[in-house]
Each structure stands twice: as structure tokens, then as C-alpha cells.
Amino acid sequence: MSTGAMSTDLRAVLDDGPMHRFQWTAVAVCVLLNMLDGFDVLVMAFTGRAVSAEWGLSGSQLGLLLSAGLVGMAAGSLFLAPLADRIGRRPMILACLGIASAGMLLSAVSQSAVQLGLLRVLTGVGIGGILASSNVIAAEYASRRWRGMAVSLNSTGYALGATFGGLLAVVLIAGFGWRSVFLFGGVATLLAIPVVLAGLPESLDFLLTRRPARALDKVNAMARRLGRPAMAELPAGGESTAPGAGAGFRALLAPALRRPTLLLWASFFLVMAGFYFVTSWTPSLLVEAGLSATEGLTGGTLLNLGGIFGTTLLGALAARWALRSVLMVYLLATAALLALFVGVLGSLGAAFATGALIGLFVNGCVGGLYALTPIVYDAGVRTTGVGTAIGIGRIGAIVSPTLAGALLDLGWTPESLYLAFGVVFVATAGLLLLLRTDTRVK
């Protein structure tokens, strides 16, 4: 068998064969990374009250600290993650783990709000690179059948990290103060580095496309794991001839990719705007609609709990039906539930049940876009494509809570805001109708 056929055979085994243990291990490591990211991203929300009390911060100053991590994530996704298409997914994840852990550990000894804000940006840069690269490598190592599940599990990991992180933060702050929460997150992120070194191989697509040092040895090690014979040399074609390999942002807007890229950018912006409106404002809007403060917080918690199940369910459905179709159902269901939500606020039980369902579907919308995007791009620009889409989404995440507040100041009611953001999810479903995808990682 020729070496070119052998490389195609390896890709086919990953795509169409049963999932091997090392493939599931790679996916599990990516899920762990996303759990750490969920904790690291929301650590400021967990510690915000204690930080404000120590430094006497105003509401606007705390708001800047809460936004700093999102700004860093947008920068990391847009400008750092694309380098993974040049140096490799695995080295990028390792470098970003170092950046994120440094940001968290230094945050634990920060002496002012300005220092903490800058360190939150630094931490966010690392997290942005990890999220994009881990979603790509999970997609590349999952089989065609389980690809949607693999990437959706990453989003579940993010929700789990956020949920358990909140519970852990309560214990740590009570016993050791808010700095201990950052210290814990920094140490946990640092300890993930040997886990990645042991359990996360480099992408086969990257090895064949970019030809890094010892690429042949790494490809043959994978062939042995898959029960295939070793290759004497890498197949013809690769870095020098593969169109668009490592071409960066320009390749995303070249004629062949311009349409799907713009559709994905718009979809990420709208979905992340809707997601962060729902998760940021629901507790406050529930109180404004007549519920107590405790009931408002309970509603917000149910949103997060629903999210843990939503992305897992989406992945299971995507193993049976086309991912894009499942995602469109999720988007339309989210819109319908947001419209229903405003009508059930008079009944506490119905409001909580509807809130949990909204959490289930709105988190699934985000996880579905994460799973869909790697399918669109080939190996040479895959992390660039995913990273820029996530970065554009983070801009929507930063804008939407502020926009919602401004609309409330103009006299909008909570009911009108939920209906407006329901339209956002319907519009995203319309965009996905225009998106042509296949179901294989190229």
C-alpha cells in the first residue's frame, strides 16, 4: 500500500472505525481542560463580592473586572489560537495552560483592582487559546459518528467546571478568603500540563499537513495504536503544497470559505449575545418581574444546571441525526421557551421549570456551534477558523449585557427583552439554513 493511501487509511479509520481507547482519552483530556476553563472564566463572578468588600469597589469597577476575562478570551481566540495551525494544537494548549496558570497564580497575590484586571485579561488570553484548540483536537480525534458528542462534551465540561467551581469557591472563601480560589485554580491549571503531555496526542491532520519535527514517528505511533502498519515516509503533498495550510485569516475570507466564515461569525455573535444575556440578566430580571432575590438566584442556578444536560443531549442526538439540523431545533426551541418564559412568571414552579429548559437548550446552542465549526474548515486553517469564530462570539458576549442594561434604562420591560433575544435565536437558525456543510473532518 502506498504511503498516500496509508495516510488516507488512517484518517478513514479515525472517521469510520470504532472509537479506540486513546481517542476517548484524548476527548476526556479536552473535557478536563474545558472544566478548568469554566472554573477560571467564572472565578471573578465567584469572588466578586469579597473582592469588592476588600478594595471598596463600585459597581462599575466590579463590572470591568467581570468583563476583563471575556476581553482576554476574545483576544486569545482571535490572535493566539490561530497560531495552532502553524505550531500544532498540542503545543498551543500547553503554552496557553502556562499563560492561564500564571494569570491565576499571580491574581492570588494581586494588590489592586488594576493589577487584578490586567491579570484577568492575561488569564482570558490563555483560556481563549485552550478553548479553540481543545475543541478542534476533540473533533479531529472523534469518529464521524461521535464527533458531535465529543465537542458537545467539551461544553458540558465547561458547565461542570462553572457549577462545581461555584460550590468550591463558597467553601474556600469562607475558610481562606477570596485569594485561595485563584490559587486553587492556578495550581489545578498548572497540574493539567502533565496530563496533556501524557494523554493528548498531536492531531493527525496537523502532522500530515504541516510536517513538524518527528512527524513520521508520531504518525507511525498512531498507526500502531490503530493496528495499521508503519509508513516508510510521509505521503507526497503537505506543507509546501497543501492549499491554505497555515494561511491564517486571509484564507478564511478567500472565495471558497468566505460564505461559511461570515455565516459562522454572525451565528457565533448572535448566539453568544443571546447566551450571555440569558445567563447574566435572568436573576435580576426575575426579581424585577416580581420574584424574590432568593428566587431570582435559584432561577439563575437552574439555567446552569440545565446546561450540563443540554450539550450532552445535543451530542447524543447528533450521533443519530445531522448536527446542523439538531442545532437548528435547539435554536428554535430556545426562542420558543424565551417567549413562553415571560408568560409563566406568575407561577413559580412553571418559571423554574421553563428556566431549566432554557438553560438546557441555550447551552446546547453554544455547544452545537462549537461542534459544527471544525467540520467546515480543512486542517490547515481549522484552529484559525474556530478561534476567530469564538472570538467574534466573545464580542457579542461583551456587548449584549451592556445593551440589555441600556434598553432597560430606555424603558424596555423584561418581557420585551426576552422576546427580542428570542428573535436573535430564530435569526441564527435562518443563517444556518444558508450554511452548507459535510459531516467529515477534512
Of 124-133, 189-198, 361-370, 371-380, which gets the smallest average pLDDT? 371-380
User: Do residues 29 and 144 touch, judged by C-beta distance below 8 A?
Assistant: no
Q: What pLDDT is recorded for position 243?
A: 41
Confidence of residue 248 (pLDDT cuts 50, 70, 90): low
Q: Does position 2 have pLDDT exceeding 50, yes or no?
A: no
Q: Does position 82 have pLDDT exceeding 90, yes or no?
A: no
Helix (H) or strand (E) holding 108: none
Q: Does position 192 have pLDDT exceeding 70, yes or no?
A: yes
Instruction: Show Cβ contacts of residue 276 under 8 Å, excluding neighbours closer than 6 positions.
Output: 396, 397, 400, 401
CATH code reported for the domain at 3-225: 1.20.1250.20
Q: What pLDDT is recorded for position 182?
A: 94
The rounded distance, in Å, linking the Cα atoms of 132 and 366 is 13
Residue-wise pLDDT tens digits, 278-293: 876 666 666 666 666 5
Residue-wise pLDDT tens digits, 14-31: 777 788 888 889 899 999
Segments of the chain assigned to CATH 1.20.1250.20:
3-225, 249-433
Q: Does position 244 have pLDDT exceeding 50, yes or no?
A: no
Higher pLDDT, 112 or 282: 112
Sign of CA dihedral 334, 339, 342, 345: negative
User: Do residues 275 and 362 touch, judged by C-beta distance below 8 A?
Assistant: yes
> Which residue, chain included where needed, has cell 478536563?
32
Q: What pLDDT is recorded for position 185?
A: 93
- What ranges in 17-112 are assigned the alpha helix state H? 21-55, 59-75, 84-87, 89-107
Q: What mean pLDDT is predicted for residues 289-302?
A: 64
Q: What pLDDT is recorded for position 32?
A: 93
Higher pLDDT, 314 or 179: 179
Amino acid in position 310:
G
Instruction: Show Cβ contacts of residue 115 under 8 Å, excluding neighbours closer than 6 positions.
Output: none
User: Do residues 359 and 307 touch, judged by C-beta distance below 8 A?
Assistant: yes
User: How far are the Cα atoms of 281, 396, 398 from residue 401, in angstroms, in the given order?
Assistant: 7, 9, 7
Q: What pLDDT is recorded for position 241?
A: 40
Q: What mean pLDDT is predicted for residues 26-48?
A: 86
* Cell numbers describing residue 65: 473586572
Q: Does position 113 have pLDDT exceeding 80, yes or no?
A: yes
User: Do residues 75 and 197 touch, judged by C-beta distance below 8 A?
Assistant: no
The rounded distance, in Å, linking the Cα atoms of 365 and 371 is 10
**405-416 per-residue burial string, b: 16 or more CB within 10 A, e: under 16:** eeebeeeeebee
Residue-wise pLDDT tens digits, 418-437: 899 999 999 999 999 998 75
Q: What percent of the chain has pLDDT over 90?
A: 26
Mean confidence (pLDDT) of the chain: 82
Q: Does position 246 have pLDDT exceeding 70, yes or no?
A: no
Q: Does position 267 have pLDDT exceeding 90, yes or no?
A: yes
Higher pLDDT, 193 or 203: 193
Instruction: Show Cβ contacts of residue 405 under 8 Å, excluding neighbours closer than 6 positions.
Output: none
Q: What pLDDT is recorded for position 144?
A: 80
Would you report the helix, strand and coil content of the chain in percent, each value rounded to 5? 80, 0, 20
* Cell numbers describing residue 105: 497564580
* Cell numbers describing residue 373: 465549526
The rounded distance, in Å, linking the Cα atoms of 396 and 272 is 6
Q: Which range scores top for mean pLDDT: 89-93, 133-137, 161-165, 398-402?
A: 89-93
Q: What pLDDT is recorded for position 101?
A: 96
Q: What mean pLDDT is predicted for residues 48-75?
A: 83
User: How far are the Cα atoms of 287, 336, 355 from residue 348, in angstroms, in the given order?
Assistant: 12, 19, 10
Q: What pLDDT is recorded for position 441?
A: 38
The rounded distance, in Å, linking the Cα atoms of 298 and 294 is 6
Which pTM value belongs to this model?
0.77
Q: What mean pLDDT is predicted for residues 32-59?
A: 84
Q: What mean pLDDT is predicted for residues 126-138?
A: 88
Q: What mean pLDDT is predicted for residues 320-339?
A: 92
Q: What pLDDT is recorded for position 336?
A: 94
> Which residue, chain included where needed, has cell 488512517?
10
The rounded distance, in Å, linking the Cα atoms of 157 and 168 is 16
Amino acid in position 191:
L
Q: Of 64, 39, 33, nearest to 183 (Cα)?
A: 39
* Cell numbers describing residue 216: 513520521
Return the DSSP state at 347: S
Q: Return the CA Rg of the chain.
A: 22
User: Do residues 331 and 426 touch, judged by C-beta distance below 8 A?
Assistant: yes
Return the DSSP state at 413: -
- What CATH topology corresponds to 249-433? Growth Hormone; Chain: A; (1.20.1250)
Q: What pLDDT is recorded for position 167?
A: 78
Q: What mean pLDDT is predicted for residues 355-371?
A: 86
Q: What pLDDT is recorded for position 106?
A: 97
Amino acid in position 284:
S
